[in-house]
């Protein structure tokens, strides 16, 4: 498997989410993802949707090995899912994989799968409960309590989030692990604090 570093370049945005591609190669045209679902999923993992980006690698290599990237090529699969609950679970799995890579590195191994499973076990119950509340007519985003992060149209409010951020002071192409420009163009580094089992 090719593990050579890649140069990520911003190639646009989709639904307000930045899109990167390897060496700025044009990504395929895909329909806009359900940003509301992505916001809810990100919040369940202690992230704001502005902290992630979509990315495209024409070789098919995993895009989330070192960065908080979701694979642009996975959007058509998510869009084909009929039930909103299925879309929540699909994106939760994608985000859990992305976050797990930040704590375990690029290898797809037992450790990655353990961290992914732990993350899903933590996030899915709340996501599915909020989905049931929304489906029952509560409308909007279900409120969370107990210091859990939540999303509202006004933005993200973090509770007891396991994410920390700082400025990496970089410019130019994408290259540093877990760092990317935020909505204001500032390079931000994110570190997942995963427990060692």
- pLDDT band at residue 58 under the 50/70/90 scheme: very high
Q: Reply yes or no on whether the pLDDT at 66 is more than 70.
A: yes
Q: Reply yes or no on whether the pLDDT at 20 is more than 50.
A: yes
C-beta atoms surrounding 20 within 10 Å: 26
pLDDT for the residue 195: 42
Find out whether 178 and 193 touch, Cβ atoms under 8 Å.
no
pLDDT for the residue 94: 98
78-136 pLDDT, tens digit each:
999 989 899 999 999 999 999 999 999 999 999 999 999 999 999 999 999 988 887 76
Token pair in block for residue 56: 């495209």
pLDDT for the residue 164: 28
Instruction: Give one DSSP letter per residue of 109-134, joined into a string.
Output: SHHHHHHHHHHHHHHHHHHHHHHHHI
8-19 pLDDT, tens digit each:
999 999 999 999
């Amino acid at each position: 498997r090719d593990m050579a570093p890649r140069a990520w370049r911003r190639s646009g945005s989709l639904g307000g989410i930045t899109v990167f591609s390897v060496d700025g190669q044009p990504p395929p045209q895909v329909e806009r993802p359900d940003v509301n679902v992505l916001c809810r999923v990100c919040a369940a993992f202690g992230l704001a949707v502005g902290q992630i980006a979509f990315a495209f690698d024409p070789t098919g290599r995993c895009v989330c090995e070192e960065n908080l990237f979701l694979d642009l090529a996975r959007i058509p699969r998510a869009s084909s899912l009929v039930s909103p609950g299925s879309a929540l679970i699909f994106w939760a799995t994608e985000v859990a994989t992305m976050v797990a890579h930040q704590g375990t590195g690029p290898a797809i191994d037992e450790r990655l799968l353990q961290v992914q499973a732990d993350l899903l076990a933590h996030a899915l119950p709340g996501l599915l409960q909020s989905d049931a509340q929304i489906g029952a007519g509560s409308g909007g985003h279900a409120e969370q309590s107990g210091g859990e992060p939540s999303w509202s149209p006004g933005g993200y409010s973090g509770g007891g989030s396991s994410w920390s951020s700082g400025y990496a002071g970089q410019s130019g192409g994408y290259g540093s692990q877990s760092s990317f420009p935020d909505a204001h163009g500032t390079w931000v580094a994110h570190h997942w604090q995963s427990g060692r089992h």
